Structure formats: C-alpha cells, structure tokens
Chains A and B, each alone.
Chain A
C-alpha cells in the first residue's frame, strides 16, 4: 500500500516537472525560432537594397562591424594606457634629474570609441531620468492627494506632454549656455543640455501615473488612516506609497523608455557625445562600413533599452510588497 502510494507520488511529480520542462522548452524554441526568422528575413531584404554607401548591411556585415568596433575599443584602451605610462615615466625622469622641476599632467585626448559613447549615453540618461523622477514622483503624489493641486497642474502637464524633445532642444541649449557659467565645469554643457532635454520629456508619464495611483488608493484604507489620525507624511509613507507603487513603476518604466529614445535624438541634433553622435558621425563619414556600424548602434540601442526596462522590473519586484503579481 505504502509502496504503491510512493510510486504514484513519484510518477505524479515526474509528470508535473515534465509539463513544466516541456512548456519551458516550447517557449525557448519559439524565441529561437523568432530570432532565426528575423535574421533570415533581414538577410533576404538587405541583399536587395542598394544605397549610395553600398548594400544595406546584412547580419554578417553587422557582426564583423561589431567585432571591429570592439577591437577599436581595445586598441584605444591600450593607446591610452601607453600614453599615461609614457607621461608618468617622463615626469619621473624629470623629477629624478631636478626635484624642483614642474611636471605636467595632461589628459589623453583620443577619439571616443563606440563603447565610450555607450557609456556616455547611459550616464546621461541616468542623470536626466533621476532628475525627472525627483520632480515627477513628489509632484504626482501631491496631485493625487489634492484635487486642487491636480486642477492647477493638470493643464500644464497635458500641454507639455506631447512636445517633442527636438522642440525643447534649442531652448535648453541657450538656457544652459546662459546660466551654466563656471570656471571649471564639473560636467560639460553638452551633457547638461542632453540630460535636461531627457528630463523634460520623461517627466510626464511618471507624473500622470503617480497621480492616478495615489488618487485610486482604496477608500477604506484612507478611512483607516483618518480614524487613527495618521499625520500627513506618515499617511503618504505607510498607506499611499505602498498602494501606488505598481502605478508609479509603470510610469517610471514608460519614462525611462521615452528618455532613452529622446536621448539618441538629442545627441544627434546637439552633437553632444553619445550614441546619437556616433550614428551621426558615421553617417557623415560615409565609408562603406558606415551603414554596418550604424546598424550595430541601432541594435545596441534596442538591446540597452530592453535591459533598462528589465532593470526597472527587477527594482519593482524588490520594492513591491505584492510578490505574487505577474510583471511584464
């Protein structure tokens, strides 16, 4: 009897894990199939398009450009290291000859590589996004809590929400050059211009979603807070924020996606360092490799955007009290 039960249990377990495994396998197979189908279509399509800069880059060309961009980066890193080593050596020799000699430290001024540009873009978007969130979340909370504030802020939000980043850019550029005047700037003007443009465009989804999330806190929970007379700040911290977290994160994810898109356009137009400038430079460069390199950048932009969104999801999962919801 016991034996029989044990056999049945193990059979059941096998079958259950079998179902899980086959479902997982199925979804993976479909994913791989999707990618292969895309690459094939791309290859087919690319070989038929002739441009002034040669054929449209196919998968193979893009792969070889990816490698060459990476090699460039490694070579540039080595050069930079050599430069600093030489400088240190030279300075050491001079000091050895004459302890009072004035030694010079110069920064290496090599061309930024593709990976450098990616790094710059990431830092810019992170700065702009953080700046926007510092304004958007408190503003959204205030608007969600108070109908008066909502009526004051909402029209402004609705008008500025659809504005394209490119419309802001000239204004931001001029304002930054006028106001950001320092002897030794901590960050470059171009960086500030791009970051502020990003911030202006990624404010709105978070403001709107936070407002909705805060306004739709369960009425009973608000009443609990009123009955126990929680002070306003405690009310926000203990009742409002936990309820509104999912909506706030939805807003933040939309904002980050917008910010990343906006950044590329802003960098292109403002000629500030980053992926956008990389694309523009390659376009102006017009060599036979250019289109391939631009395609590498396009894929990188997509991949990074995807990873940024995953990062936000991870953060949401960590901060949300409700671990059972399926986040997509």
Chain B
C-alpha cells in the first residue's frame, strides 16, 4: 500500500564558499494518515532540514517527498508549519494573525461569515478566544504558541509540521500545551510531524519516534513504534513500565552506542 506521506531517498547539500556540505543522506520515511511522528536527534542533526523539505521551504538535492501521490516542490497551506518562535506578525492582533492565513487559504471558497466562524472555532480549540484583539507582545509565550498552532490548524493542512513548538516555553506551560495538542490530535486525527529534543515529549505524544544520527550526512538511525494506548495520561505514564522502556530506548539511541562514537569522531 502506498503511504500518505513518503520521503524517498531525500538528500540535501548546502554549498558554502569553499565546499559543499551534505546535511541529509538518503532519508526514507513513510507516514500514514492520522499518525503523530516525532523527529528527535542532537542539535544540528538536520531535523529542521527534514521538516523544511516536507514544508517545501527547502528543495531536496536528491530524492523527493510525495504527499497523497503528488510530489512536493513548493510551500503550501496543505503543509502548515508551526514555528518554534511562533512567527506571529507583531502588527496584527491574535484574530488578524489567524485571519491572514484563513482568508488567503479559503479565498473564494468560503463566505466571510464562514471564514469568521472558522477563525473563532480554531482559536477556541486552543482556548484563545478571550484575547482576540490582543497583540502578540501583550500575551505570554505559551499563548503566542497557541495562536501559532491555531493558525496552523486553521489551514486544514494534510500534514501539520511543528518545529520544536514548545522549545521556548517553561516546563509547566509546555506540559499544558502538550496535553492540548494530544487532545486536539485525538479529536481531529491530523497527521503531524513534530521536531523535538525532549525525550518525554516524544514518547508521550508520538505514534512513531524517528531518531536521527548526527550530521553531516545525517540519516534516520532508528524508528521506534510507540504502542502506548491513547488517551495517554502523563501522571499514569510516570510509573508505566512500557513508557519507561520506550523512554530508555530513545535515551540509549541518543546517548549510547554508535551516536556517541560519531559525536567523538
């Protein structure tokens, strides 16, 4: 069976003044519809590069990405991106930020009233309807990220791409937002690819954890299927042997064995 999203033999080279640098080497990945995938690895291993190629913001040097049978070669709203630093337009309010995306994506397809309802619905999903007319500098980091997620969801993407969405948040806010993302994923069943460097986050949220080796020539080192039943509760998980097993698998990959040798080399 052909998969929903497929990365086949994706490699990318960046040319600097003196040399070419091969960041990714033959990355292969199959994602099914509704799956929650985490990309984990040390910094600089090319996680973001993979995400940017799927988003269409970068072009693979070799290989390609196929989404629902069509090759991707440009950015588009069917692959919405949630950026690490929220990337909200500081001169627009919360509502207007989501509106900018929604109005553009559904231009001519939905009536103004429908567009308005849809914006409010998505802001309601992330519990941000109380701050519609606030500007980004007037709300907290966690709230900005919520708006970023609402903007991503509102584009009705086939795949939602999240680039370390909780990386810049404090631990409590992060936990709270992780729960929200799990809730939204359970109700909408979106296909999600998320970059993270947080092992607990990866195990808690994902169906599959894609572990990448350190770059250059980064590859997918291993793929871990997380078969924990949903809904998952973070308190219950803390003492779950299966959860801890997955956790250790990821830690072993990141801090033991071949990766460590490559880091030293």
Q: List A residues at the B interface (Cβ < 8 Å).
A: 218, 220-221, 223-224, 226-230, 234, 238-239, 242, 321-322, 324
100-137 of chain B: CB within 8 A of chain A: 100-101, 104-105, 137
**Cβ of B37 < 8 Å from any Cβ of A?**
no
Q: Which 5 A-B pairs have the closest CB atoms?
A: A321-B91, A220-B87, A226-B75, A242-B91, A228-B101
At the interface with chain A, which of B10-18, B76-84, B196-204?
B76-84
Check if B105 sits within 8 Å of A228, measured CB to CB: yes
Residues of A with C-beta under 8 A to B81: 223-224, 227
Alpha-carbon separation in the docked complex, A176 to B76 (Å): 51
Interface size (B, Cβ < 8 Å)? Answer: 21
**Cβ of B263 < 8 Å from any Cβ of A?**
no
Residues of B with C-beta under 8 A to A238: 89, 100
Check if A218 sits within 8 Å of B57, measured CB to CB: no
**Cβ of B7 < 8 Å from any Cβ of A?**
no
Residues of A with C-beta under 8 A to B79: 227
What would 13 A/B residue contacts be, using CB atoms closer than 8 Å? Answer: A220-B85, A223-B55, A224-B87, A226-B57, A227-B75, A227-B76, A228-B77, A229-B105, A234-B104, A239-B89, A242-B89, A321-B90, A322-B90
**In the complex, which residue of chain A has the Cβ closest to the Cβ of B103?**
A228
Alpha-carbon separation in the docked complex, A223 to B48 (Å): 14
**Cβ of B24 < 8 Å from any Cβ of A?**
no
Check if B89 sits within 8 Å of A229, measured CB to CB: no
53-77 of chain B: CB within 8 A of chain A: 55-57, 75-77
Residues of A with C-beta under 8 A to B83: 220, 223-224
**Cβ of B94 < 8 Å from any Cβ of A?**
no
Alpha-carbon separation in the docked complex, A229 to B77 (Å): 7
Interface of A is mostly: helix
130-148 of chain B: CB within 8 A of chain A: 137
Residues of A with C-beta under 8 A to B55: 223, 227
Check if B87 sits within 8 Å of A218, measured CB to CB: yes
Chain B proximity of A242: nearest CB distance (Å): 5
Check if A229 sits within 8 Å of B75, measured CB to CB: yes
Chain A proximity of B26: nearest CB distance (Å): 26
Check if A228 sits within 8 Å of B57, measured CB to CB: no
Chain B proximity of A222: nearest CB distance (Å): 9
Alpha-carbon separation in the docked complex, A218 to B80 (Å): 18
Residues of B with C-beta under 8 A to A220: 83, 85, 87
Residues of B with C-beta under 8 A to A226: 56-57, 75
Check if B75 sits within 8 Å of A324, measured CB to CB: no
Alpha-carbon separation in the docked complex, A324 to B155 (Å): 32
Residues of A with C-beta under 8 A to B87: 218, 220-221, 223-224
Residues of A with C-beta under 8 A to B137: 324
Check if A223 sits within 8 Å of B76, measured CB to CB: no
Chain B proximity of A327: nearest CB distance (Å): 16
Check if B104 sits within 8 Å of A228, measured CB to CB: yes
Check if B57 sits within 8 Å of A223, measured CB to CB: yes
Check if A230 sits within 8 Å of B91, measured CB to CB: no
Alpha-carbon separation in the docked complex, A324 to B136 (Å): 13
Chain B proximity of A248: nearest CB distance (Å): 14
Residues of B with C-beta under 8 A to A227: 55, 57, 75-77, 79-81, 155
Alpha-carbon separation in the docked complex, A220 to B100 (Å): 15
Residues of A with C-beta under 8 A to B76: 227, 229
> Which of B90, B91, B101 lies at the interface centre, i.e. has the most chain A CB atoms within 10 A of its CB?
B91
Chain B proximity of A238: nearest CB distance (Å): 7
Chain B proximity of A300: nearest CB distance (Å): 38
Chain A proximity of B66: nearest CB distance (Å): 19
Check if B104 sits within 8 Å of A229, measured CB to CB: yes
Residues of A with C-beta under 8 A to B57: 223, 226-227
